[in-house]
Copies of this chain bind each other. A is one copy, B any other.
Amino acid sequence: MTNHQLTMLFLALALISLLAFGAGALARRLRQPPVVGEVLLGVLLGPTLLGEAASGALFPDDVRPFLTALANLGVALFMFTVGAELDTGLLRGRRAVAGTVAAGSVVLPFGLGALLALHLFDSHPAADRTGFVLFMGAAMSVTAFPVLARILTDRGIRHTWLGAVALACAAIDDVLAWTLLAAVVAISGAATGSQGLLLLFVPYVLLMITVAGPALRRLLAGSWAVDRDRSASTVVTLAGLLASSAFTEWIGLHFIFGAFLFGAIMPRRTARTARTARTAGDAGDGRADAAAQAPVPSERISDRISHLNDLLLLPVFFVVAGLKVDLSGMDGGDLSELALILVVAVGGKFIGAFGAARATGLPGRPAAALAVLVNTRGLTELVILTVGLQLGALDHRLYSSMVVMALVTTAMAGPLLHLILPTRPAAQGLPDAAPYPISTTRAQSGGESGT
């Protein structure tokens, strides 16, 4: 690493953290999730507006790999916190709904995306026709799990029935989309030679849930007494999530699954324990306080990790993804292609998810809200598009159009959700006695994520 690389890396990080925070704040003021502002910032800092030369001077080619490394670390840490804060208890008895909506929101977009690919293949000759068709299908089926989590957090509805189902759908969607992507990688013959390893994911998940989870619970609970400042617990957690990321990346899936999975198996207080503890704690019962601490609250560890991450590393990912977009050479043909892509992406997701939700007996409004939410593409789409670019399944023009699609579908979610559920009602026809925030403290704080 040369002095110049180091100088430019520090400068890039300074710029990104400051500008991304500003862009996020601006987006928030415009009632958009901050991530839209952050990715847009990346696009603006890229060749589209600044031009190749200026953008290259600000983020030189020999510094970008370092930014990518930091961005990936940021995404891994973020995915962990998403997993750690996922309230699986809220899903209880609603797995059928989540599964059906997820299936609907994948099958239709995939089919439409594959048809679109057949149409686009002549103007965007990819290395392999089948690979291209599968890739476009997968790219259309994606729901941006992390971005969705941020939107839900920003809206204060992450810990609600709707939030839990939407996140579960997104998780299922993403597993399907990544599996498809893995198939594309295999077919495109990218010669990683690791397709067979993918099968290891199933036993890995089982092992993590049945062995690692309980072990982690015992370990963190045990260290609670001696580990006063929680450093040891945090280190074990960090090392675990990084190792899990490395494993899933190694088998060819993607590191974000390992990070998320490790977050998901983190010990947490059940809603019941927490409520009991809080009530008893208010009454000044010391034993209940101890009980409240017994299953280590992973929230504090996850808070610690996300402080620096939300403000420094994660924004790097969004900006780096935006940097690769070049819209400067768009002509009429590209624009009509973009329109077609948008119709397929939005139409496929919305009709597929809405239809499936209605089929499970969900009323119109919550079904529409779910459909709007799973239409969010954001970060996951950006990761998939980057892979597509590397594989040669996408050329630079199509990549840029797809990023615009990802941005538009992400930006749509907020206003549409506001239209469908204008207020935060006590009951909006959702099939649950307490459809909205179960944990009142979280709901009142509005947004727990800094960015």
On chain B, the residues within 8 Å of A6 by CB distance are 69, 72, 249, 255
Given A235-B17, A311-B231, A451-B231: A1 touches B249 (CB 8 Å cut-off): no
Kindly state whether residue A11 has any CB partner on chain B within 8 Å.
yes
CB closest chain-B residue, reference A304: B307
Interface residues of A in 196-255 (CB under 8 A from B): 229, 231-232, 234-236, 238-240, 242-243, 245-246, 249-250, 252, 255
Flag if A235 contacts B70 (CB, 8 Å): no
Across-interface contacts of A255 in B (CB, < 8 A): 6-7, 10
**Is A9 an interface residue when CB atoms closer than 8 A count as contact?**
yes
Q: Which residues from B are CB-within-8-Å of A15? A: 239
Copies of this protein, total: 2
User: In the complex, which residues 345-378 of chain A have their Cβ closer than 8 Å to any Cβ of chain B?
Assistant: none
- The contact size tier of chain A is 35 or more
Q: Which residue of B lies closest to A65 (CB)?
A: B1
Q: What is the minimal beta-carbon distance from A69 to any residue of chain B, in angstroms?
A: 4
A14 at interface by CB-CB < 8 Å: yes
Does the CB pair A69–B1 fall under 8 Å? Answer: yes
A240 to B238, CA, bound (A): 27
A184 CB → nearest B CB, Å: 15
CA distance A311 to B238 in the complex (A): 9
Task: Provide the residues of chain B in CB contact with A242, threshold 8 Å.
Answer: 10-11, 13-14, 17
- A8 contacts which of B1, B9, B246 (Cβ < 8 Å)? B246
Interface residues of A in 44-103 (CB under 8 A from B): 65-66, 68-70, 72-73, 76
**A386 CB to nearest chain B CB (Å):** 10
Chain B residue with Cβ nearest A239? B18
Beyond A7-B250, A192-B3, is A239–B17 a contact (Cβ under 8 Å)? yes
A229 partner residues in chain B, CB cutoff 8 A: 450
- The smallest C-beta distance from A36 to any residue of chain B, in angstroms, reads 18
Q: Does A188 contact B (CB under 8 A)?
A: no
Asked whether, in the complex, the Cβ of A246 is within 8 Å of the Cβ of B72, the reply is no
Instruction: Provide the bound-state CA to CA distance between A243 and B236, in Å.
Output: 32
Question: Which chain B positions have C-beta within 8 A of A305?
Answer: 307-308
Q: Is the CB of B1 within 8 A of A252?
A: no
The interface bits of chain A over 278-305 (1 if a CB of B lies within 8 angstroms of the residue's CB, else 0) are: 0000000000000000000000000011
Residues of B within 8 A of A250 (CB): 3, 7
Question: B11 near A246 (CB under 8 angstroms)?
Answer: yes
Give bound CA distance, A66 to B231, whole Å: 24
Among residues 153 to 173 in chain A, which have CB atoms less than 8 Å away from a CB atom of chain B? Answer: none
Residues in B neighbouring A148, C-beta threshold 8 A: none
A21 within 8 A of B: yes
**A7 with B249, Cβ < 8 A, contacts A65-B1, A311-B231 known:** yes
Measured in the bound complex, the distance between the Cα atoms of B68 and A6 in whole Å is 10
Contact, CB under 8 Å: B231 / A450: yes
Residue of B nearest to A310 (CB): B231
Q: Measured between C-beta atoms, what is the minimum distance from A10 to chain B in Å?
A: 4
* 20 A/B residue pairs, CB under 8 Å, sorted by A: A1-B65, A3-B250, A3-B252, A7-B246, A7-B250, A9-B73, A10-B255, A11-B242, A11-B246, A13-B73, A15-B239, A17-B239, A25-B232, A69-B70, A70-B70, A231-B310, A231-B450, A235-B311, A305-B307, A307-B308
New contact pairs (5) apart from A7-B246, A308-B308, CB-CB < 8 Å: A9-B69, A10-B243, A66-B66, A234-B450, A305-B307
